[in-house]
Structure 1
Amino acid sequence: MALPPLHSFRVFESVARLGNLAAAAVELHVTTGAVSQQIKSLQGSLGVELFEKRGRQLVLTASGRELQKRVASAMGEITEAVQALRAGGQREPERVGITLSIPPADGVTWLATSLFRFMEDSRAISLRVIAATGFHQVDWRRADVAVVYGTPPWPGFWWRLLHGIRLTPVCSPQFLRGPQAIREAADLARHRLLHEDDGSQWQHWLAEAGFSCGGAEDIHFEDFGMVLQAARDGFGVALSDETVSQRDLDEGRLVRPLPISVAAVHNYYVVCSEAKRQRPEVRAFIDWLLSIGE
C-alpha cells in the first residue's frame, strides 16, 4: 500500500502541535485552505478521522494521537539531521517574519495571551510586535498586519471585524458597598465616569440603559490603560468589555455593578494593505487572528 505524500504528514504534525489550521498555515507559509485540503486528503488516504473540533481548537482523536507520536518522532529526527547539515555549512534555518501592530496592552490582553502562545509553539515564524493606538498611528512601513480599535472605512486597506465589543460598567469592589453603592443606572450620577474618548461611549451606554444623566466630575483620558487603572484604584467607573477585562474581573480587582451591556461605538478590527495580503503567510496569520477573535 502506497504511503500518502510525505508533505501531508508535515502538515499534520504542524496542525496537531498548534491545534489550529490557520496557525499551521502561517508556520508552513501557505493558505489555510491549503492546510485544510492536505488534512482532508490525509484522512481520506488513511481512512480514519485524525481530528475533532472542540470550540475553536482542533483536538486529536485516538487515531490522531497515535499517529502524532510517530510522526513527531520522525519529524524530530529529520529536523535534527537537517540542522546538523546546516550547522556544518553555517546556514541558519529560514524563518518568515511578520510584523503586527496592536493597541496598548491593556486593551488587548485577550489577544496578547494567544500571541505569546503562538510565538512559543510556532517554529518557523519570527513575529515582531509594535504598538499604535489607532489606525492613523500605525507605522505601515513596518507593519504587515494591524489590530486597530476604531471604526472603518479606511480607504486603500482591507479589514475585518476581529472582536465585537459589548461595553459594561466596571469599577472597584468598594463601589458595591455603603450609601453610595451602585445598584441601578441612576446611581452612576453620584460617581465620576472615566472616559477614553470625548464622552460618546458613555453617552451611548446611558442612552441604551434608558438614563441620560452623566456622572460628576468626569475625567477624560487618551489611554485606555489609564482608564482601567483609575477604575481599579477607585477613582471612578469605566466602561469595558468583559473579554478585555476578564482577568481583572476574575481576580477581583474590578467588578460589574450592573448587568447591562451594550454594543460599543468602536470595535477591534484586523487591518492590512491589499498588497501585503497577497503573501500566503500573511493571509494565514489573519485567518488565525480571526479564529481567536471569534
Structure 2
Amino acid sequence: MALPPLHAFKVFESVARLGSLSSAAVELHVTTGAVSQQLKALQASLDVELFSKHGRQLVLTPSGRRLQERVAKAMGEIAEAVGELHGTHAHREVTEITLSTPPFEGTEWLVSPLLRFMAESNSVKVTVVTAPNMAQVDWKRADIAVVYGAPPWPGYWWRLLHGIGMIPVCSPSFLGGPLAIHSAEDLAKHRLLHEDDGSQWKKWLAESGLKRTGFRDVHFEDFGLVLQAARDGFGVALSDEVVSARDLREGKLVCPLPSSVPATFNYYIVCTENMRERPEIRAFIDSLLKIVDKSV
C-alpha cells in the first residue's frame, strides 16, 4: 500500500506528543482546522483509529501508540541526519542579511519560525532591526523588510507573507454581565480600538450590516498598544487569529463574534528591485516564505 505523505506523520507526531490539536497547530504554525484535516486524512488512509477523546484531551489508542513510537524514532533520526549534514558543511561561507520587521508585539506568529531559522542555519547570519511601517524602514541598513501595509511601493519588489482576516478580540470580561457582547449591535457599548484611520472597523461593521455612526473609537499609532488596551478591557480591537494566537490560547483575549473580513493592510516581504537580483537574497526570501507557511 502507498504510504501517506510524510507531513501527515509529522502532524500526527506533534499531536501525539502534545495531546491536543491546538497545541500542535501552534507548534506547526498552521490552523487547528488544518491539523484536524491532516489527522482525519491519515486515519482514513491507514483505516485505523489513532486517537480516542477523553474530555478535551486526545489519547492514543494502542495502534496509535505503536505508530507514535516508530514515527518519533524516525523523526529523531531525520533530525540527527540533518544535523550531521550541517556539521559536514560548516565550512561554507556565511551570508550576512539584515532583516527589518515591525516591532514584535503583534507579530509573534513570525518570531518562532524566524528564530528557528536563525538557530538552524549555518550558512546565513540574520541581524534583525525594527521599523513600524514602510516609510520608516532604514534601507541603508536593511536588505529585506517585513512590512505591515498595502502596496504599491514604487521601486520595490514585494510578496504577500501573511494575509490577515480580521476578527473582533476583547477581554474575557466582555463575555458576560451588562457589557457582554453577543451581537454586533453590542459593540456600541464599547470603544473600538484601531491603529488605522478607522476604515477597517468601518469595513467590518458594514459586513455585519451596521453603519459606523454611534460607535466610539480610540486611535493608537502602535498595534501593540491596541492589543494591550484590548487585553486590559479598554475596548474591542480587530486582530487576526494567527497574529493573536498566543493571547487567544492563553485566554488573555477572546473572540466574541466569529465574523471575519479581509484586512485592509497585510504583512509583506519587501526589498529593492536590485537586492532581489542577488541569489542569496532570493534564497533567504524563499526560505522565509516556506517557514512562515502560507497556510497560517
5+ residue gaps in structure 1?
1-48, 83-92
Alignment match, 2:254: 255
Alignment match, 1:109: 108
Alignment of 1:139 with 2:138, yes or no, is yes
Alignment match, 1:245: 244
Verify the 8 A CA contact 2:206 2:212 in the aligned structure 1: no
Alignment match, 1:29: none
Deviation of 1:293 after TM superposition, in Å, equals 4.0
Alignment match, 1:120: 119
Alignment match, 2:211: 212
Alignment match, 2:184: 185
Alignment of 1:130 with 2:129, yes or no, is yes
Q: Percent identity?
A: 58
Verify the 8 A CA contact 2:146 2:270 in the aligned structure 1: yes
Deviation of 1:155 after TM superposition, in Å, equals 0.6
Distance 1:74 1:145, change over 3 A: closer
Deviations 1:187-225 (A, max 9, x none): 001111111111111001111111114565421000000
* Deviates most, 274-283 or 168-177: 274-283
Distance 1:74 1:101, change over 3 A: closer
SS at match of 1:268: strand
Letter of the 2:177 counterpart: G
Deviation of 1:74 after TM superposition, in Å, equals 7.5
Verify the 8 A CA contact 2:86 2:122 in the aligned structure 1: no
Verify the 8 A CA contact 1:171 1:254 in the aligned structure 2: yes
Deviation of 1:124 after TM superposition, in Å, equals 2.3
Verify the 8 A CA contact 1:189 1:213 in the aligned structure 2: no
Verify the 8 A CA contact 1:194 1:236 in the aligned structure 2: yes
Q: After TM superposition, where is structure 1 displaced by more than 6 Å over at least 4 residues in a row?
A: 60-68
Deviation of 1:78 after TM superposition, in Å, equals 7.7
Verify the 8 A CA contact 2:96 2:126 in the aligned structure 1: yes
Aligned length: 231
Alignment of 1:164 with 2:156, yes or no, is no
SS at match of 1:272: strand
Verify the 8 A CA contact 1:190 1:215 in the aligned structure 2: no
Deviation of 1:52 after TM superposition, in Å, equals 3.6
Distance 1:116 1:66, change over 3 A: closer
Distance 1:102 1:74, change over 3 A: closer
2:198 & 2:102 partners in 1: Cα distance?
A: 20
RMSD: 2.8
Work out which structure has the larger RCO, using CA pairs closer than 8 Å and 6 or more positions apart in sequence.
Answer: 1
Task: Please say which structure displays the higher CA radius of gyration.
Answer: 1
Alignment match, 2:174: 175
Alignment match, 1:223: 222
Letter of the 1:191 counterpart: H
Verify the 8 A CA contact 2:172 2:251 in the aligned structure 1: yes
Distance 1:75 1:148, change over 3 A: closer
Distance 1:259 1:125, change over 3 A: same
Verify the 8 A CA contact 1:188 1:215 in the aligned structure 2: no
Alignment match, 1:284: 283
2:88 & 2:212 partners in 1: Cα distance?
A: 68
1:119 & 1:74 partners in 2: Cα distance?
A: 17
Verify the 8 A CA contact 1:96 1:124 in the aligned structure 2: yes
SS at match of 1:259: coil
Deviations 1:230-255 (A, max 9, x none): 00000000000110000000000000
Alignment match, 1:46: none
Q: TM-score, normalised by structure 2?
A: 0.71
Letter of the 2:263 counterpart: A
Deviations 1:238-290 (A, max 9, x none): 00011000000000000000011110111111111111112212111111222
Verify the 8 A CA contact 2:96 2:124 in the aligned structure 1: yes
Verify the 8 A CA contact 2:106 2:227 in the aligned structure 1: no
Distance 1:165 1:284, change over 3 A: same
Q: TM-score, normalised by structure 1?
A: 0.71
1:116 & 1:184 partners in 2: Cα distance?
A: 39
Letter of the 1:253 counterpart: K
Distance 1:225 1:78, change over 3 A: closer
1:265 & 1:70 partners in 2: Cα distance?
A: 44
Deviations 1:102-155 (A, max 9, x none): 111122110011111111111222101111111111111111111111111111
* Deviates most, 196-205 or 60-69: 60-69
SS at match of 1:193: strand
2:118 & 2:287 partners in 1: Cα distance?
A: 13
